[in-house]
Structure 1
Amino acid sequence: MNTSLVQEEALEPVIPIIDTHHHVWFDSGFPDVPYPPYLMEELTRDTTAGHNIVGTVFAECSAEYRSDGPQHMAPVGETEWVAGLRPRDRGELAGIIAHADLRLGSRIGEVLDAHQEAGGETFKGIRCRAAWDEHFSFPPGKYEIIPGILLTNEASDAMAEIAERDLIFEAWVYHHQLDDFRQLAAKQPNTRFVLEHFGCPLAVGPYAERRDEVLVEWRAGLKRLAELDNVFFKIGGLGLYPAVHPDVAAEPRSSEWQADYWRPEVLFAIETFTPERCVMESDFPVDSPMFTYVTFWNILKRITSQLSERERRLMFHDTAHSLYRLNLPLPT
């Protein structure tokens, strides 16, 4: 735990929460940020720290790939490992979002089926870290980030295989790539697509002095994307390096400060996608240099405090429960 961060008590600890995006790893693969191991001990420490976390969804992070066999099947090792970590008496790791190379096109079906066999009911779909910008790079883990990958014929063929198996496709893109994601989602209107990390409005490098311009482009992109009713939106990634302005990262911030900073954008996203298509993600431990797990959920609770009980219940729990078709009991 980073003791330099603001330490807080959990607000409104009764609200049931499904964390739709976190990782577990021995080694993060991010050489510029020395993340320590984040395994079941650390995950349980966070999910039991005060908020009512009733379930979580693991997002791929290039952990524990197979070291032998065909290269395109290596990511299945991560699903095998995570499925073996899942506790039987709690809701952590109730869903697994894995990885498969979109460049395989229609041949991706073999990998999807192997993930399904390894993960059983916990395997829900795959994600692609497609976030690319000419001005800087973000460590991709064990696979290459390909500029324009979502616009390729191979990606379209892969989506057909995902659709055939009724799986989810998630992607992380930057704000200037939102239309790439939209074009892909429009080709499979009956498939569930999930935009991760808040659509990542960039705030570093040359974008640091262009926040207003970036947010105009981000808002326009979200509006176009929300026209597709098969696209869901993850609210989170608020501590993710490319989206954190240097002024925000300058010192430890309370949930009250962070809520005031992010409120206009979060409420815009909720209004645009509606609570029926918004879910919440901690992105831990990637976002942990910015705030504690407790503080993160306090931020979202503060921002949404004026919304109705039904709207908050949808975003913190019910929409995720149905989107990922989780085998978890519904809280009373």
Structure 2
Amino acid sequence: MENVAMPHLEVRPDWLAKNVEAPIEPGRPIIDPHHHLWERPKARYLFHDLLADVSAGHDIRATVYIQCRSMHRADGPPELAPVGEVEFAAGAAAMAESGHYGDCRICAGIVGTADMTLGADVGRVLDALEAGANGRLRGIRFPMAKSGDPAIVGSVVDPPEGLMREESVAAAAREIGRRGLVLDTWSFQTQLQDLLVLARRAPETVVVIDHVGGVLGVGGFTGKREDAFAGWRADMAALAALPNTRVKLGGLAMHTCGFGFETAASPPGSEELAASWRPYIETCIELFGPERAMFESNFPVDKGQVSYTNLWNTFSRLSSGASEAEKDRLFRETAAETYRLSV
């Protein structure tokens, strides 16, 4: 078992069971483009745990595995340690493809990680990752979320300050795009201007902005949501102006967002979540358009505040005014296009 400290909220099944809704749109086909699998002290979320969630009532057709430092190789060159993670995810994909567990193609796409400070030389790591993923590698994520505030921790890694402005990272991003892979990015809203620099330096690479750009509401951002929103929106608008960017609509149930639903006696319902998240989700859809935006679960991270069914019900409520064509983009087609999925 990996000895990695978890900065995420604890998942409490008994607490989540106090408020589980019936699916609002059980017949809508969905691709979940962002989830993890891991086994760590006091935090296990493996194939059968995900299977139980995706089988809870919504029509989840496929999922995309996103790196989270699971099952890195213990031996061999350090730069090839992440190959173990894509091999692990490919194993889960093979289980799903057997058909023994239903129709959902879990881990149909895999996003791994690589040391982007290698610059263009990252190509040799990408070769190994593509082989390990057995034809399912769709992108690379290099977690960059960092804050000087000790109350704001969003990742198990601690990247150097200003990493996204380094030319070596831009060179690696360009190599990723040259291979037809996407670059998933995880940063806080305080780092969006650095992300803008990186996205501009790799114009041929599709840059996916995870978790609506890393909204903050804890630490120094406590009680300052309105002021923080204005700066977040301006930075997201600058990113949306670049045609190579995409945005994932989710991740708002993380502790760092500061909504605090985990402190209530019972978990939030979809109406309550939709009311709280609407400004961020609607702004992203307005800026990027449905053709460049996709709903995500971010499970099991967001499971600290909301069940899988209530989460997708929230997205149904948030998109209730959209056309059917727009909903198809938000729930499935943008993800399928971005991660080259044929389901």
Q: TM-score per shorter chain, which class? A: over 0.9
How far the C-alpha of 1:289 sits from its partner, in A, is 1.2
Match for 1:110: what amino acid?
R
1:128 equivalent in alignment to 2:135: no
For the residue of structure 1 that corresponds to 2:251, the secondary structure is coil
1:100 is aligned to 114
2:289 is aligned to 274
Structure 2 counterparts to residues 65-76 of structure 1, below 5 A: 65-76=72-83
Counterpart among 314, 321, 339 of residue 306 in structure 1: 321
Structure 2: which 5+ residue stretches go unaligned?
1-11
**CA distance in 1 between partners of 2:338 and 2:177 (Å):** 15
* C-alpha contact (below 8 Å) 1:2/1:289 kept by paired residues: no
Cα deviation 1:71-119 (Å, max 9, x = unaligned) = 1110111001110121213311000010111121222111111010111
1:16 equivalent in alignment to 2:29: yes
Displacement over 6 Å in runs of 4+:
none
2:9 is aligned to none
* C-alpha contact (below 8 Å) 2:174/2:204 kept by paired residues: no
Cα deviation 1:234-270 (Å, max 9, x = unaligned) = 0010111111333x44312111111111112211110
For the residue of structure 1 that corresponds to 2:45, the secondary structure is coil
Aligned residues: 320
**CA distance in 2 between partners of 1:95 and 1:158 (Å):** 21
How far the C-alpha of 1:189 sits from its partner, in A, is 1.6
RMSD over aligned CA atoms reads 1.4
1:326 equivalent in alignment to 2:341: yes
Match for 2:285: what amino acid?
I
Counterpart among 194, 198, 201 of residue 215 in structure 2: 201
Counterpart among 74, 77, 88 of residue 84 in structure 2: 77
Structure 2 counterparts to residues 37-52 of structure 1, below 5 A: 37-52=44-59
Match for 1:113: what amino acid?
D
**CA distance in 1 between partners of 2:238 and 2:121 (Å):** 31
Structure 1: which 5+ residue stretches go unaligned?
none
Match for 1:78: what amino acid?
E
* C-alpha contact (below 8 Å) 2:113/2:142 kept by paired residues: yes
Match for 1:306: what amino acid?
G
Q: TM-score, normalised by structure 1?
A: 0.93
For the residue of structure 2 that corresponds to 1:120, the secondary structure is coil
Shift in CA distance, 172/267, structure 1 to aligned 2, threshold 3 Å:
same
Q: TM-score, normalised by structure 2?
A: 0.90
Match for 1:284: what amino acid?
F
1:229 equivalent in alignment to 2:243: yes
* C-alpha contact (below 8 Å) 1:234/1:281 kept by paired residues: yes
* C-alpha contact (below 8 Å) 1:208/1:245 kept by paired residues: no
For the residue of structure 1 that corresponds to 2:107, the secondary structure is coil
**CA distance in 1 between partners of 2:161 and 2:318 (Å):** 34
**CA distance in 1 between partners of 2:26 and 2:216 (Å):** 32
